[in-house]
Amino acid sequence: MRPLAEAVGRGARRVAGAAVEVRTIDETGPEVLAGADAIVLGSPNWNGPTGEFKRWLDGTGAFWEENPLVGKVGAAFTSAWSRNAGVEFTLWSLLHFLLAHGVIIVGLPWTDRMRASGSYYGATASGEVTPEDLAQAEALGERVAAVARALKRGQEG
């Protein structure tokens, strides 16, 4: 997972003015999420997010009622040992969390890479992470940062 997370960060850093932090859930609390313009969630695929990550997501209930993420930009990524092991389910679970918080979702537009990854919902890797997987994650990070920057400029203007 870390290689995909770092690739998302590299892609986001390509956007002028983007400040990027790659963190684990142990390093992230509600105040970090509330202070971000964009949030990209990633979890290994265990036919959904891992139990530890799911507990972390479920622990945001009171935070959810405060609406601090409404209007922020978000996306998701995952990795699995098998392409057919529930990768899209994991992505949808992460995206569902973001949608429930009022986050604006950014996905990936169709490319030939999708023939191998099978998903435009977010960046994925199946088995060993390949250079193509990393390129897809970088593209996702760049799209998220570009949309976040455009929204922020629109709010300031």
Question: Tell me: the pLDDT tens digits for 9-41?
Answer: 999 999 999 999 999 999 998 889 999 999 999
**Does CATH number 3.40.50.360 belong to domain 2-156?**
yes
The domain locations on the chain are 2-156
Section 116-144 average pLDDT: 90
Confidence of residue 157 (pLDDT cuts 50, 70, 90): low
61 versus 66: the higher-pLDDT residue is: 66
Question: Tell me: the pLDDT tens digits for 5-14?
Answer: 999 999 999 9
Angle at 106 between CA 24 and CA 8, to 5 degrees: 40
61 versus 136: the higher-pLDDT residue is: 136
Rounded CA-CA distance 104/98 in Å is 8
